[in-house]
Structure 1
Amino acid sequence: MTAVREADLLLGELIAPALPVVEAELPESAVFAAAPGGWLAVAWHHDPMEIIMTVALVVLLAGLILLGLASSANSRREQQRAAARLRAIEQKLDAVVAHLGVTVRERELPEVLRLIVADQRIAAIKAYRDETGASLLEAKNAVDALAARHGR
């Protein structure tokens, strides 16, 4: 007798005949047992190697996700450290320049100057940021200083 037919017989004995019986193709490893309350319990016997492989894949996937999260956190932390070191170096350099009394000329940015003269302050700030990689506040202050030097 096939496993499905045995299930039909077992179902017929355990539950009321008015309830529908669902037939399905089940693997040979399926085992049927009566559960408390008249329900049919179905369990599959799996190959131990299949279970080990499934667990290993789940652990590997979880590890890869955690590695990615840790890597992005480290990357962000390294960027913050580099930015802090750069700010410290710039402050020291500014102090040395001020101590020596040297005047450092800013880079000439002809596109930024053209936009300032054309009274396009926002476009000048964007152009300054594109050219120098400065933050929005740094770019605004620099464009304001350039405009003041050029009488705008």
Structure 2
Amino acid sequence: MDIAVLFLTSVVILGILTLQSHVSRAERTIARVERKLDLVLQHLDLHEEIPGKDGIVALVREGKTVQAVKAYREATGAGLLEAKQAVDRLT
């Protein structure tokens, strides 16, 4: 019985580590593609439209950075770090 539990535990741990490796690889690939896309947009002098940008800029001007980040996240679906960096670029 103990050997079966040990074997099953080992299989589960190996599966988790393999899955984590695949996710990390996918995240690196996505980041690389996003960087390339940003370069293409920059080269073509195109800018991503931010829904509600005027309201977000107004919040930044009022010194309400936290609210601006929250509004950016709600408008774009961005993560916290990405939203913070985007709001910082607006200043």
Match of 1:102 among 45, 53, 61: 45
**Which aligned runs of 4 or more in structure 1 are off by greater than 6 angstroms?**
none
Q: 1:129 deviation in Å? A: 4.4
Amino acid at match of 2:49: E
More strand by share: 1
The alignment yields a C-alpha RMSD, in angstroms, of: 2.6
User: Take 2:21 and 2:52, find their aligned partners in 1: how far apart are those partners?
Assistant: 33
TM-score by length of 1: 0.46
Three-state SS of the structure 2 residue aligned to 1:106 is coil
More helix by share: 2
Three-state SS of the structure 2 residue aligned to 1:74 is helix
Structure 2's unaligned 5+ residue stretches are: none
Of structures 1 and 2, the larger Rg is shown by 1
Alignment of 1:1-152 (within 5 A): 57-99=1-43, 101-109=44-52, 113=56, 115-116=59-60, 119-129=63-73, 131-136=76-81, 138-146=82-90, 148=91
TM-score by length of 2: 0.69
Q: How many residues get paired?
A: 88
User: Could you tell me whether the CA contact under 8 Å between 2:59 and 2:65 is conserved in 1?
Assistant: yes
Three-state SS of the structure 1 residue aligned to 2:45 is coil
Cα gap change, 1:128 to 1:72, in 2 (>3 Å): farther
Amino acid at match of 1:70: L
Q: Which gives a bigger RCO, structure 1 or 2 (Cα 8 Å, sep 6+)?
A: 2
